[in-house]
Structure 1
Amino acid sequence: MAYSVGQVSGFAGITVRTLHHYDKAGLLPPSARSPAGYRLYSDADLARLQQILFYRELGFSLDEIVTILQDPQANALDQLRARHRLLTEQMAKLQRLLDVAERAMEVQRTGVELTPRERFEVFGEVTFDLSYATDAHLKWQHSEGHQRSMARAAAHTKKDWARIMAEAAAWRHRLTAVFDADEPADGEAAMEVAEEHRQHIMRWFAPCPTDMHGRIADDFAADPRAFALVVPPSEQRPGLAGFLRTAVHANAVRRGPAPEQP
């Protein structure tokens, strides 16, 4: 069966101009011509075109494809091996670039300038979800408090972060102890734990008025990615994020609306 250039273009998802180019390059001359001189392609031509598109997808030049198709048994395997090595090298290079880009994004979104090894040593199970860090940055990027917090975070040394995480771990222990003891979320013990968290934020990052602390706690309850920044999944309990949110808001009511001093 013979196919017109337009039909082959539709089958293959390439342009008529590309087929004309393949013909002129000697890569895919049509098997026949119509009485009017139009190109006509056979099933064998379509099979050859499929091979051409396969090699093009792998990045081979037209000259390389011509060489392969002239003697496929002698050249194809060696050519494919060489292409495989090249693609593997390119993938490794791209992965390195991707790692650098992700590292740069993470620093920009979290403000934590530590190497991956330092992060593991300092943070352990507490990890930054880059998608959440990006969402949070977009949400709060114009907030003076967020900008100040990012600047403070970027200025912290590895030693600072070790102290911050030790303090946070002790706080988590007290939070889960109060929760496990079935203390009321709006009770004195829970509010003290909530206030301790607010003081931690102010001590290490930025001023945190009670209304801002309430918004932070709302995020903890609404988004597991946010809560995982303060309580890793292995230490969480069902309802703990909501418990902390209630305690934070109760603490805000207890303390009243007076503004915090920088």
Structure 2
Amino acid sequence: MQLDLETVKKIVLNALEEDIGEGDITSELLISDESRSKAEFITRQRAVVCGIPILELIFSLEATNLEYFPNVIEGSNIQSGQKIFTVSGNTKSILKLERVSLNILQRLCGISTTTRQYADIIKHTNAKILDTRKTTPGLRVLEKYAVWIGGGTNHRFGLFDQVLIKDNHLQAVSGDIFKALELAKKAKEKGLKIEIECDSLEQFKKVLEFGAADIVMLDNMTPDLLIEAVKMNNGRFILEASGGINLANIKAIAETGIDHISIGSLTHSAGNIDIGLDFIA
């Protein structure tokens, strides 16, 4: 996934405006304009690094006052106590950018680390780990980037880039799968893929009968049901398992022969990594 740095910059500037407001009162009262410092971002736990390009962007906003460089490579596995990024220069500038930098780095490292855990468990299969739209409002581009860095694959970015017919959509057309797929076929003219959610093999049989879909999401199905669906499908559609997936059951799900496994918890439940900014000079 290629980061759109202009979009990222807007996110960063909004975060800085929220945090700094009219100014860093404490630093203005305690620290002279001439004060210089050196600081290091250090992890307190094992993690997968994600956020180096964002840190570089943040500190470039104070380019005349600061020098900075990464100590590790984006996407690498790091151990507790390891340095991630070093910055030096005007003390006030470093402190002004500290919290936003840490918030973003901790969040993204948490998502990439969680994703890597899932990806490592199923690397012996052909299944792909997918994210969802269950992201923090305003941070989707960053959180999906973190999934990608962790070894996952990005699902649709929003409502605009793929059709996904879910249970509420079916309810709106009286549960008529044939009608829903027929109406959705217009999206093909725009080059968009069509995905439909099925919560039973009976629904899946109707999709197989009608066709038109590119991807079928099999929601909250057990491994035994997924195995049956894979046999029924016989390679026709891309099959996606979703719902109730965790580190304990993902191996069994991936080994059913499913193509995609979408996991909302990659972004909505991943914990932040404990990272500190330590001043060393």
**Richer in helix (by share):** 1
TM-score with structure 1 setting the length: 0.25
**Richer in strand (by share):** 2
TM-score with structure 2 setting the length: 0.24
Name which structure has the greater RCO, CA cutoff 8 Å, separation 6+: 2
The structure having more radius of gyration, on CA atoms, is 1
